[in-house]
Amino acid sequence: MTAALSAKPKPAPLSATDKALDKLGLVRDIDLALHLPLRYEDETRITKLDEAREGDAIQIEGAVIACEVSYRPRRQLIVTVNDGTDTCTLRFFSFYPSQQKALEVGNRIRARGEIKGGFLGWTMLHPAFRAAGGPLPTALTPVYPTVAGLPQPVLRKAVLAGLARADLSDTFEPGDLAQFNPHVLWTLRAALQFLHHPTPDVSLDTLQDHSHPAWQRLKAEELLAQQLSQLQSRRARAALRAPVLAEVHGGTLHDRLLAALPFALTQAQRRVSAEIARDMARHVPMHRLLQGDVGAGKTVVAALAATICMDAGWQCALMAPTEILAEQHFRKLLGWLEPLGITTAWLTGNQKAKERRRMLEMIESGEARLVVGTHAVIQEKVHFKNLALAVIDEQHRFGVAQRLALRRKLRHEGMEPHLLMMTATPIPRTLAMSYYADLDVSTLDELPPGRTPIVTKVVNEARRHEVIERIRAQIAQGRQVYWVCPLIEESEALDLSNATETHAELSAALQGTPIPSGEAAQVGLLHSRMPSDEKKAVMAAFVQGQMAVLVSTTVIEVGVDVPNASLMVIDHAERFGLSQLHQLRGRVGRGAAASACVLLYATGDAPRLSEAARERLKAMAETNDGFEIARRDLEIRGPGEFLGARQSGEAMLRFANLALDGALLEWARAEAPKLLDQHPALADKHVQRWLGGKAEYLKA
Ligand code: ADP
Ligand code: MG
């Protein structure tokens, strides 16, 4: 180390207050200014006890007429205050000698808290109090979110100091918001000043629910920052290059696949295919999310995109999150593409070494023009000759790192492949607009014809035997049934025994039930701990109809396609998440037969289901629409959990509420490109102000 460096003065050690502020992310003056109160306390008024109402949060002022420590039922300090109109008892279960002294008989005090009436007169539990005297404050007292070791008065002082020092000049004119809402004519400075010290005449409700115009300004600011940062990352992506995959016609693979399909594409499938083809024909990497409810027919859309890629002379990869799903894609694509002379490679984690080596060779030489597999596709040893299109099914099951790894599989300098992500968990519009704004979204909003809607019933565990009777009736008609057992998080072993027991129970109950072929019905078992060969064999038997009932853990959650299955029973449905229930239900209703889904629930030792569980089951019974389900899921869980913390970037939206602020979000979305184009310096300032160092993290 050089002398100059070692002589550099060490930064002063952080004080406890600075450490606590740091923990809250309050580093810059602007961070402090944007740290807004959770709620307010009204110390501007004194309420006389004869005017108090039960349950009000009030401040009283009076003389202490009694103060004693009582030991029954437990140690507590009991203080009686008389304000000239009535008396009130204050109770403290924990107290310091200094507080006891401040509450001595004869002292005049102000006490603030929720007042309760009762047999023994007014009481307040653990009120805040101080010596009476001095003028009443003229503004409401803000209460800020804080952490241990940072008391409100210290934080309040720091926030007000930050507010005074910070640059609060506007990055957009208050008038820009007037078109959205004529009441939002607040500058940032005015809004912040107000929210840190609102005048007592304001309605506390409008502050609490963030509907006050000052809040509207802040929410608009916050949403604009989010939109700007997403737009910046979208523009950064536009500077990258990708192979141009122009669609050509006349005897191409694409034309031949279209002609060979046993069905006509739906209107929606044609529309999204055109959107994808347009993206791939550009030299900018596609970054598109194809969302469509379960059974909407995303696979054929992916296959058509793949043929365009192969027609242009490039390779294509498809990655799915589970082996069962990947295998199913492989079979389906093989069925469509093999007759067209396309060689497809198959990659999975538990392949035999020899087979695997052969696959890797085919991929590297370019003999395999399409590669289908699990995570194995992105392993280091996999070298593509010329990958130009990567498709990721059920994209929410993959992390950012895995998507990036797939994109890096194109070895040409400075180029990235086109990326098509697919999901059956549709993202509600407000979320798509805010968290996925740097992604293009195509939506399959139409199911292929001939599907009959699924009837969903919520049934108490006590009626399990009736459900089993229903299964018997279904399989007697030659239909197939899924029975899904819940994942027991704490223990895979328990999980397994649960599925095994259910399998035994159903095997016994259904033993000898004849199915139309004249044979006795078979009950199969599928769980995640089974060796992959066994899993495959069971799945194949079910797909081919040799097995009437399949008892399974959630390994069948995504993508499995057996059109003859017409009944889905979900055991302990209360333990599943809403989107998971919807995915599972999507395994039936894939053929022409009327299908049903039974959600069996148990309350365990509790008298009834939890509120959230009831909401989930109710949503399932009320709608089959994946978009509506996603909207309710968002409502029940909130965006953080809906997206998973990693994807949403936890503190990204602190003030705006996507369920309520859709109009402001629309405004921000329209405003962001204008600001970025016309006033790039202001746009930068805005993003820095709101996201500071966080912007980079949020782009990942
Ligand atoms: P998902 O969108 O859930 O992945 P799939 O791609 O598995 O749906 O398609 C569900 C089923 O619908 C498959 O059997 C598929 O072959 C069939 N399918 C897809 N498109 C059509 C269509 N236009 N008409 C009829 N059946 C179709
Ligand atoms: Mg699918």
> Which atom of ligand 1 is found nearest the CA of 264?
23
- The first and second tokens of residue 535, run together, are 């899993």
Residue 625 has pLDDT above 80, yes or no: yes
The residue whose CA is least distant from atom 10 of ligand 1 is 295
How many H helices and E strands in the chain? Answer: 26, 21
Q: To test the ligand 1 pocket, which listed residue (298, 543, 561) has its Cβ within 8 A of the most ligand atoms?
A: 561
β-pair partners for 441 = 289
Query: Ligand 2 centre from 636 Cα, in Å?
Result: 26
**Tell me: the pLDDT tens digits for 405-422?**
888 888 777 789 999 999
Contacts of 567 (CB under 8 A, 6+ apart): 470, 471, 474, 479, 480, 481, 482, 588, 595, 596, 597, 598
Are the CB atoms for 584 and 484 separated by under 8 Å? yes
β-pair partners for 288 = 420, 440
Cα separation values, 273 from 111, 215, 254, 284, 339, Å: 68, 42, 11, 18, 22
The residue whose CA is least distant from atom 9 of ligand 1 is 297
- Alpha carbon distance 575, 581 (integer Å): 10
- The residue type found at 241 is R
**150-169 average pLDDT score:** 93
Query: Ligand 1 centre from 455 Cα, in Å?
Result: 20
| Predicted pLDDT of residue 244 | 95
Task: Please report which ligand is nearest the Cα atom of 296.
Answer: 1
Q: Please name which of 304, 228, 315, 292 lies closest in space to residue 423, comparing C-alpha atoms.
A: 292
Q: To test the ligand 1 pocket, which listed residue (272, 293, 299) has its Cβ within 8 A of the most ligand atoms?
A: 299
E strands along 575-616, which residues? Answer: 595-601
Dihedral sign for Cα 490, 494, 500, 501, please.
negative
Pocket of ligand 1 (CB under 6 A): 263, 265-266, 269, 292, 294-300, 424, 448, 559, 561, 590
3-state secondary structure at position 500: helix
- CA 163 vs. chain centroid, Å, equals 33
Other CB atoms within a 10 A radius of the CB of residue 529 amount to: 13
Cα separation values, 664 from 174, 181, 210, Å: 14, 9, 13
> Which atom of ligand 1 is found nearest the CA of 444?
2
Task: Please report which ligand is nearest the Cα atom of 451.
Answer: 1
The mean pLDDT value of the chain amounts to 86
Tokens 């990055």 correspond to 171
Report strand pairing: 122-125 vs 128-131: unpaired
> Which atom of ligand 1 is found nearest the CA of 298?
2
- CA 189 vs. chain centroid, Å, equals 33
- Alpha carbon distance 505, 57 (integer Å): 58
- The first and second tokens of residue 487, run together, are 């994942």
Are the CB atoms for 344 and 333 separated by under 8 Å? yes
DSSP string for 444-458:
E-SPPTTPPPEEEEE
What is the rounded (10 degree) CA torsion for 541, 546, 548, 550? -10
Query: Ligand 1 centre from 397 Cα, in Å?
Result: 21
Element (H, E) at 387: strand 387-392
pTM of the model: 0.69
Query: Ligand 2 centre from 299 Cα, in Å?
Result: 6
The residue whose CA is least distant from atom 14 of ligand 1 is 561
Task: Please report which ligand is nearest the Cα atom of 392.
Answer: 2
| Residue 322 per-residue DSSP state | S
Are the CB atoms for 337 and 369 separated by under 8 Å? no
Query: Ligand 2 centre from 154 Cα, in Å?
Result: 55
Task: Please report which ligand is nearest the Cα atom of 444.
Answer: 1
The residue whose CA is least distant from atom 22 of ligand 1 is 448
Are the CB atoms for 613 and 574 separated by under 8 Å? yes
The residue whose CA is least distant from atom 20 of ligand 1 is 297
Dihedral sign for Cα 52, 56, 59, 65, please.
positive
The CA R_g of the chain, rounded to the nearest whole Å, is 32
**Tell me: the pLDDT tens digits for 578-593?**
888 888 898 888 777 8
- Alpha carbon distance 286, 276 (integer Å): 8
Q: Classify residue 594 as exposed, middle or buried by CB count within 10 Å of its CB (0-12, 13-18, 19+).
A: middle
Residue 219 has pLDDT above 90, yes or no: yes
β-pair partners for 290 = 422, 442
- The residue type found at 215 is W
- Alpha carbon distance 211, 191 (integer Å): 13
Task: Please report which ligand is nearest the Cα atom of 320.
Answer: 2
**Tell me: the pLDDT tens digits for 220-265?**
999 999 889 888 878 887 888 999 999 888 889 999 999 999 999 9
| Residue 24 per-residue DSSP state | T
Query: Ligand 2 centre from 298 Cα, in Å?
Result: 6
Are the CB atoms for 389 and 245 separated by under 8 Å? yes
| Predicted pLDDT of residue 636 | 78
The residue whose CA is least distant from atom 26 of ligand 1 is 448
Of all residues in the chain, what percent carry a pLDDT higher than 90?
A: 46
Helices (H), 544-625: 578-585, 611-622
**Tell me: the pLDDT tens digits for 164-216?**
999 999 998 877 666 666 556 789 999 999 999 888 788 878 888 888 889 99
Which of 152-161, 203-212, 689-698 reaches the highest mean pLDDT? 152-161
Higher pLDDT, 236 or 305: 305
The residue whose CA is least distant from atom 17 of ligand 1 is 297
The residue whose CA is least distant from atom 12 of ligand 1 is 297
- The first and second tokens of residue 624, run together, are 């089959």
Query: Ligand 2 centre from 559 Cα, in Å?
Result: 4
Q: To test the ligand 1 pocket, which listed residue (300, 336, 372, 445) has its Cβ within 8 A of the most ligand atoms?
A: 300
Residue 643 has pLDDT above 70, yes or no: no
Q: Please name which of 350, 351, 291, 299 lies closest in space to residue 320, comparing C-alpha atoms.
A: 299
Are the CB atoms for 171 and 685 separated by under 8 Å? yes
Task: Please report which ligand is nearest the Cα atom of 443.
Answer: 1
Helices (H), 436-564: 464-476, 492-510, 532-543
| Predicted pLDDT of residue 357 | 95
Query: Ligand 2 centre from 670 Cα, in Å?
Result: 33
What is the rounded (10 degree) CA torsion for 44, 48, 52, 56? 20
Residue 488 has pLDDT above 60, yes or no: no
